[in-house]
Structure 1
Amino acid sequence: MEGGVTEEQERRPETPAEANGATAVFVVLGKQLKLLRERAGLSQKEFGRLVGYGPDQISAMERGVRTPRPEFLDRADELLKADGLFREVIPQVEEAMTKARTRHPEWYRSYAGMEAEAVELHVYANQAIPGLLQTEDYARSVFGQRRPFLSEETIEKRVVDRLSRQQVFDRWPPPVVSYVLEEVLLDRPIGGPAVFRDQLRNLLRVGGLRNVEIQVMPIRCTEHPNLDSAFNLLVPKGYAQVAYLEAQGFPQLIHDGEEVRKIADRYGIMRAMALSPLESRSLIAQKLEEL
């Protein structure tokens, strides 16, 4: 649901990390991780399986575009026989994470900050797979198709931003997350068949997490309480539920309790009308097989 950017937004630093150079910590750490993984004779997929991450996530960490969490560094140090190399830098990484915060344009940072610490997150999507569920290649395809065109540098920054948000799934305790996806999203192969196959596999992977429920709103459904735009509902830590909407690049963060209640009411009705998480998983697997 992230919109376009102005020329001014393209020029300025995307994040506090970029402004103060903290990003370099992640880049150097990523190079060391890749070197030791390859010395151990492990592919990204094999190593990811050992530490509980997907190959896309390992790739992002090795390129310095995803922040490795302390527990990951501790496990990587043990598996790759790094002799304390990764454990020793945990304090520096935590400090860099504090400085970097979220990698988003200024207009989006208020929402992104709440999302990163939310205790609940609920999403309705009707145009594209939501950002937190996107693979790297799918995200790059989405940004590459924007009009007016984004520069290659801006596209890569937007992909990094999107991947960095997905660390919300790595938190403990994890947030309660749910999605209602229109079935048409499973039939629109953005990026082409190969990219979309990986995207469907990622839906199955994330949907398999204990704290995540993905439900599909079937096309055959003859009634619908929200024939309007997509939206996000979240409960920030220590605060009341808020809603986030975006139309044609114009974001709106809604705090008014009555307005949020109306959106939450529609979402509840949609969850009741959609396929169950188990039925939705079967449908996604079927779409993957047919692609």
Structure 2
Amino acid sequence: MTRPKDLDPSSNPRAFLGSELRHARERAGLSQEALGAPLFVSGTFIGQLEAGTRRMHLEYARHFDETLGTEDFFTRNCGALAKSKYPDHFAEAAEAEAVAVSIRQYATLLIPGLLQTKAYAEEVFRAYHPTATQEAIDADVSARLERARLLDDPTTPLLWTVLDEAVLRRMVGGGPVMAEALRHVARLAREHRIIMQVLPFAAGAHAAMDGPLKLMEFEDAPQLSFVEAPDMGKLLDDPATVTRHTLMFNLLQAAALSPKESLALIESVAQDYEHGEQHR
């Protein structure tokens, strides 16, 4: 298995913990497969922990301390790193997203979090939590906008998004909010920061009708797939499943409008929202 490169602990605490795991494992003379076997996880999964693309859960940390003779090092630090500003079902995916070199996603009903504006995000969170305090909503919006700063880097990660046409037609927060949100997506596409396609209603049945899909690639770890449902989400690394999801995304790309056609449609719909026209 390819040896993971050394990672900068100052840039990613989870990567630091993974780097320490690799050093401790190698010092103990264990392979990734041997370390993972008692936990019923693969050597690939251990490699993902070492590369910082997966979160170290407490049960694993305790096993590592016991097996590698590191006293309570991993248990202590695992507990500290477990705190997240994101919901439990999404926290691990958000952390993986932050170190991915490529993200490909299909969005079914709303603009993906990385591409949302402040006003759009506020409307989404208020719909999710109609009785929440404004302070709680503001905290959620702040975390989402902070996560979107991932795109401040001009080239990494490569973000390729396929939006279902329903995303454009569902009016979230009214015409001005939708116009601003779609203009923001269009600007990112025009600046060549993202690749954007729209899957039109005219495409009919397609490969991902069961729901949204996200695929993430990394420099030193296998590809991951993330699937979610209301208050549920799961990172998948099974090679057969990831291969199937990759095929699904490829089929979506083939069925969608070209990036040029998609941009024209997004800007046309944004203009209609600005002029107060309704969409069906």
TM-score bracket, normalised by the shorter chain, equals 0.5 to 0.7
Distance in 2, matches of 1:257 and 1:107, equals 22
Give the structure 2 partner of residue 120 of structure 1.
102
Give the structure 1 partner of residue 128 of structure 2.
146
Distance in 2, matches of 1:188 and 1:131, equals 16
- Pick one of 142, 152, 155 that aligns with 1:160: 142
Distance in 1, matches of 2:118 and 2:269, equals 20
Distance in 1, matches of 2:169 and 2:154, equals 34
The one-letter code sitting in structure 1 at the alignment partner of 2:124 is V
Distance in 1, matches of 2:244 and 2:120, equals 32
- Pick one of 258, 272, 277 that aligns with 1:290: 272
Give the structure 2 partner of residue 129 of structure 1.
111
Give the structure 1 partner of residue 187 of structure 2.
205
Of residues 244-253 and 165-174 in structure 1, the stretch that sits farther from structure 2 once superposed is 165-174
TM-score normalised by the chain length of structure 2? 0.65
Distance in 2, matches of 1:218 and 1:172, equals 29
Instruction: Provide the secondary structure at the position in 1 that maps to 2:251.
Output: helix
Instruction: Provide the secondary structure at the position in 2 that maps to 1:283.
Output: helix
- Pick one of 166, 170, 184 that aligns with 2:152: 170
Gaps of 5+ in 1: 1-15, 17-98
Identity of aligned residues (%): 32
Give the structure 1 partner of residue 172 of structure 2.
190
Deviation at 1:223, TM superposition (A): 3.1
Deviation at 1:211, TM superposition (A): 4.1
What does the per-residue CA deviation read over 1:257-290, in whole Å, with 9 as the maximum and x for residues that have no partner? 1111111100001101100110000001111122
What is the RMSD of the two structures over their aligned residues, measured on CA atoms?
2.2
Distance in 1, matches of 2:128 and 2:245, equals 28
1:254 pairs with 2:236: yes
Give the structure 1 partner of residue 9 of structure 2.
none
Instruction: Provide the secondary structure at the position in 2 that maps to 1:232.
Output: strand
Gaps of 5+ in 2: 1-12, 14-80, 274-280
Aligned runs of 1:231-242 on 2, under 5 Å? 231-242=213-224
Distance 1:223 1:237, change over 3 A: same
Give the structure 1 partner of residue 70 of structure 2.
none
Instruction: Provide the secondary structure at the position in 2 that maps to 1:143.
Output: helix
